Structure 1
Amino acid sequence: MLSTLQTPRSSLSRFTLPSTITTLASNSQSTLTTTQSPTTSPPQSQILSIRHSLLTRNLSAVDLARSYLTRLRLTEPHLRSFLHIPDDQTIISQANDLDRRIAAGEDVGPLAGVLVAVKDNICTADMPSTGGSRILQNYRPPFDATAVKKLKELGGIVVGKTNMDEFGMGSTTEASAFQ
């Protein structure tokens, strides 16, 4: 299995610069040689950086989760972008479990420690799923949607359900029953 910290060979070609560029200029052919060496690393990714920091234990999943929760508590009253956020202990316990698995050398998945918010029209077994409508205000699905299940299997931590227009009928969240 390819490590998520390594870029697949086929993807590297996108980031490699040609060493020679041929140009046509006013009916004469000239060759411009660049002095840049080929680039072998893709652009930086926060997900890969977080995963690397977790796996090398420069960062704990609990510290990452607490930092996120602090920022969420500061910004959410103004943004009102979440309809449901689990209690802090639920998220911290998932982060603790991840730290324990990393310490034990277990495979934690490519999304290890990535904190994910899920739109409210996607079913989550442990949180209400309202679709932005008061009709479904107290609905708790008995299962996780396949997308949520896959996110969790890959190591992601679901930290809440985000607001939306009622039943997805809009694009600005102005038609949310909870706005």
Structure 2
Amino acid sequence: MAADRWFNRFIEYWTLPKAEAVLDHVRRADVQLVQCGNFGPDFYSMASNDTIARSWAGMPGFTVEENLEMAAELIPQIQAAGAVVVGQLTMTMHFGDHDKRIGLFGEPWEHMWTPEILGPAPFESVDDLVHLDEAGVPAQRVIEGRPYATYRGCVRNPDWLLVLKRMVDKGLELGLDGFNAIHNY
């Protein structure tokens, strides 16, 4: 069994920072852990949407590939500076509009399931993997100020868990040491 590991000095970025914004900080402050970037369904749902602020995707670039490439370059630099690197991973939340086929309900779903990104699609669409309302349609939560409605994958659905597993595998492939899993309800 692995020994307990404690972190006393960490920094958190809700989006992936540029190297010049983080590396010197890690070295000078002897930062032990850096949380940066977003590697879950909310990232994949909004990564290619150029009509919203980048903070909604949790990554600075405008395509999935661009963001993953930036992460693959930055993660080993942070590790070489002396810190463990974890990414943020929402267990459920993603943004979109199921009627207009925006977010995971549309093109991003097809795009992320390619050999270069997450591999072959385990399911035809996300519609049956999210919480459904009493009418049997994807349940949405509209929060003022957000560009799109919020949807939730169902953590009790083993098929949704398979989707998350592929996202975790991709983050580990990029070099992440682990994840801060949020929205796990």
Task: Please state which band the TM-score falls in when normalised by the shorter chain.
Answer: under 0.3
Larger radius of gyration: 1
What TM-score do the two structures reach when normalised by structure 1? 0.25
**More relative contact order, 1 or 2 (CA 8 Å, 6+ apart):** 2
What TM-score do the two structures reach when normalised by structure 2? 0.24
